[in-house]
Amino acid sequence: MNKLSIVGAGMVGEAAAQIIAREEFCRELMLIDVQGELAQGKALDVWQAAVESGSDTWVYGGSNAELLQDSDLVVITAGVPRKPGQSRQDVLSINLPILDSIMLDINRHAPAATVLVVSNPVDVLTYRAWCLSGLGRDRVFGQAGVLDTARMKCFIAEETGFSARDITALVLGGHGDSMVPLMRYCAVGSVPLSHFLSSQQIERIVERTRQGGGEILGLKKLGSACDAPGVAIAKMVDAIANGRNRILPAVAILEGEYGRTGIAMGVPCVLAEGGVARVIELSLDAQEQAMFDRSADQVVRDIAEMNAL
């Protein structure tokens, strides 16, 4: 990938930039923020760290939207984070006009760019970005499931004592309390998780995964999660930049999959060069489908709330 831009030089944007620059996922990396000098300072810091790691990626920062010019991929992390006691939906009224402004800049300066939305509420804002972009669903999608899956794997490793390297997990649905951890698809070394844990233990993991972001927010108090989201972004960028055809959960626009149309939901996708190459539709049992439907209904309500603003 030649050029990648991150809009939002906060803690999440900076964490992602550090990995992207160090691993040379692009030749040129832009950090763009309304606080231009902050973006410039962080860009220099990231660049110098990357150089010392042996990377040739160039990193620049600033506030001018023209920095988006010729971007292959734009990652949107801008917006206000949650505060303790807030839901992701609580920040919608603030982050919606921010996203609208960013999409206007992208359409003007980088209309051919693929767009990865990270800002919350990510399901709603991904849908909004897609509507404003005029692009296909392969080119506009969001990050949530990679982070949620990482959290679940962490909790499974803690509960079982096994290496996280051998753990596979999958989380679908909206990014929030209605997310759908698919425990039937979770395993340790290809052995189903139910072989090692009781239903009560598994339910604790499910609930902790759903509250994973809130747990960190409540403990940190002055900030939300940043390092794990940064790694999740970098993982998706790697799959796109290097055309890896990786199956990763992403917030995608549904076109009939799982019985839903015209909403953005977390589902398994094939990420390749250019974006979402394919949405994978799993066969859900009755209980899983019911959970997915509840999550989808919540996203529908959230989109209606957004449209009313």
* SS3 annotation, the chain: CCEEEEECCCHHHHHHHHHHHHCCCCCEEEEECCCHHHHHHHHHHHHHHHHHCCCCCEEEEECCHHHHCCCCEEEECCCCCCCCCCCHHHHHHHHHHHHHHHHHHHHHHCCCCEEEECCCCHHHHHHHHHHHHCCCCCCEEECCHHHHHHHHHHHHHHHHCCCHHHEECCEEECCCCCCEECHHHCEECCEEHHHCCCHHHHHHHHHHHHCHHHHHHHHHCCCCCCHHHHHHHHHHHHHHHCCCCEEEEEEEEEECHHHCEEEEEEEEEEEECCEEEEECCCCCCHHHHHHHHHHHHHHHHHHHHHHHC
Q: Is 176 labelled as part of a ligand binding site?
A: no
Question: Which residue among the candidates 22, 153, 175, 210 is catalytic per the annotation?
Answer: 175
Q: Which residues contact 168 (CB under 8 A, 6 or more apart)?
A: 153, 185, 186, 187
Q: Is 151 labelled as part of a ligand binding site?
A: yes
Q: Is 82 labelled as part of a ligand binding site?
A: yes
175 in catalytic set? yes
Q: Is 262 labelled as part of a ligand binding site?
A: no
Q: Is 242 labelled as part of a ligand binding site?
A: no
Residue 92 burial by Cβ neighbours in a 10 Å radius (0-12, 13-18, 19+): buried
Angle at the Cα of 271 from the Cα atoms of 250 and 13, rounded to 5 degrees: 60
Q: Is 101 labelled as part of a ligand binding site?
A: no
Q: Is 238 labelled as part of a ligand binding site?
A: no
The count of other CB atoms within 10 Å of the CB of residue 168 is 15
Q: Is 33 labelled as part of a ligand binding site?
A: yes
Q: Is 13 labelled as part of a ligand binding site?
A: yes
Q: Is 265 labelled as part of a ligand binding site?
A: no
Q: Is 120 labelled as part of a ligand binding site?
A: yes
Contact 6, 30 (CB under 8 A): yes
Q: Is 107 labelled as part of a ligand binding site?
A: no
Binding-site positions for NAD(+): 8-13, 33, 95, 118-120
Active site residues: 175
Binding-site positions for substrate: 82, 88, 120, 151
Binding-site positions: 8-13, 33, 82, 88, 95, 118-120, 151
